[in-house]
Structure formats: structure tokens, C-alpha cells
Amino acid sequence: MAGFEIAVETTADDSATLRWNGALPPASLEQAVSAAADDALIGRGLRRLEVTRPADDHAARRALLRAGFRQEGIRRQAVARPDGDHDDMIIYGRLAADQVRGPDGFSGVMNSALPRKRLIAHVVFRDRAGRVLLCQTTFKTDWELPGGIVEPFESPRDGAIREVREELGVDRTVGRLLAVDWLPPYLGWDDACELIFDGGTIEESELEGYVLEEREIVRVRLCTLDEAAELLTEGAHRRLTAACTVGPGETAYTEHGRRV
């Protein structure tokens, strides 16, 4: 179409950027982007092709995904809008080695663009009196259960065991799932899902043998649920209470600690 130009500009190390000016109907834009990418990565033997587009350019972003580009990141408020405000720039990349077509290609592309939720795995350890083990951390004022963020490709149970080992210096088995909670945004974090596992019974004397991760954990203590209310956020206390009061074989589902 007249007025539309698309170009591949080689940078370095067998890489290039893809740019275009003008507009095309969605189907034609998808064809143009796909053809230019195939020519660069297959025909010219380049290793990597990169594109940045404004977040509100939905037609271009759709065309890039359909052409096998994967969303790689965001340059926040990097482009000025006509109204004087700023918009994000979305970074897309396609490698010559990427699977582009077929089910694997589709899944890989969509995996890069669809939302992902942070997953947290915590563990409830209780003594014979029912007191719960809590950790005072170095990075916030409220306390929390042992545990933390689950790593990519790590199961929640394995993540809980690893975090306990890293934070307390002990290897513990993890029992059944007590609660699943949705957490709203907090302290700069996006929302997340938290799984709370049963860690079984411990003795207060064991605490002296814990080797605390000094960069994260200041100290630990056993608390009643009433005492925990003074140390936890309201949502965390509701979540802990739900986990500690489930019946045999039951798992509580909560949102911000409230049963749904």
C-alpha cells in the first residue's frame, strides 16, 4: 500500500531491528511483518530481530505475535503522546532458533504475552500448644511465615521446602495444603497467589539450632494467633487464621484472607 515502508536495520552481532512507517489493514500488516522477519532470519541468516511498539498500538502488537515475535519487556513511559502524556514501549524479539509455527510456536508466543502471577509458598509450623512460628524480616515491618516466592519451573511444595532451608537452615518435610489465598497489590508488589502448607509440629528448643539467613531474617518466635495479630498485616492474619482453623482434609480458599 502506498505510503507504507518496512525495513530491517542491522545492528551488530548478527542482530537487527525491524521498523515500519505508515499503516496497513491488520491482515496486510501481519503478512508484511511475517515476511520481513522470515527474510531477515531465514533468508539473510540473522540471529535476532527486535521491534519496539507503543503499548496502545494494538494492531502492531497483534501482528508481531502472529509473526512469531515474543514479548520481552517494557520501556516505561518511553514515548510521548500527542496529548503531552507518555506511553510505554513494548519490546518484542524473535530469534532464528525460535519455534514459530505449530502448537509449540503458538504456545511459546502466548506464554510471553499473557499475564503471569507471582506464586508464594509459606509453611505453618506449630508447637504442641498450637503456637505458630513467625519470622521477623529485614525488609519490612510486618512479620511473616517461613517461605517465599516460588522459582520458575519449581513446584510450590519444593519452593516451600527450599525457602525454609534457606531462611532457617533446616530441612523439613512439608505436609498437606492448608490454604490458598489471593493477595492484592502491596508495598510495590503486584497481586499474587499464596499457598500455605502444614509443616507439622516443632519444639521451642529447636529454634536455638536454626541458622537464620542474616540478609532476610532477623529473628523467629512462636506466637498465639492473638499475638500474631500484633505482628502481621490484617490480611496476613486472616489468612493465617484460615489456615490454622481448617478441618481435617479441608483446604481453605480465601481472597485477602477472607473466605469466599
User: What pLDDT band is residue 1 in, cutting at 50, 70 and 90?
Assistant: low
pLDDT given for residue 82 in this prediction: 86
Q: What are phi and psi of 62, to 5 degrees?
A: -65, -40
Q: Cell for 250?
A: 479441608
Q: What is the pLDDT of residues 104-123, one digit of tens each?
A: 889 999 999 999 899 999 99
| pLDDT at residue 239 tops 90 | yes
Residue 12: the pLDDT is: 76
- 146: which 3 cell numbers? 517461613
**Residue 63: CB atoms within 10 Å:** 24
Contacts of 110 (CB under 8 A, 6+ apart): 65
Say if domain 118-259 classifies as CATH 3.90.79.10.
yes
Domain 5-113 and domain 118-259 have a common topology: no
Share of the chain above pLDDT 70, in %: 99
Q: Which CATH class is domain 5-113?
A: alpha beta
Reported confidence tier of residue 94, pLDDT bands at 50, 70, 90? very high
What is the Cα–Cα distance from 40 to 229, expressed in whole angstroms? 60
Q: Using CA atoms, how far apart are residues 99 and 47, in angstroms rounded to an integer?
A: 13
Average pLDDT over residues 10-23: 90
State the pTM of this model: 0.86
Q: Is the pLDDT of residue 67 over 90?
A: yes
Whose CA is closest to 212, among 163, 160, 168, 164?
A: 168
- As a whole number of angstroms, the distance between CA 17 and CA 7 comes to 8
Instruction: Tell which residue, 40, 55, 134, has the closest CA to residue 88.
Output: 55
Extents of the domains making up the chain: 5-113, 118-259
Cα distance between residue 144 and residue 189, in whole Å: 16
Question: Angle at the Cα of 179 (from 175 to 184), degrees rounded to 5?
Answer: 135
pLDDT at 164 over 90: yes
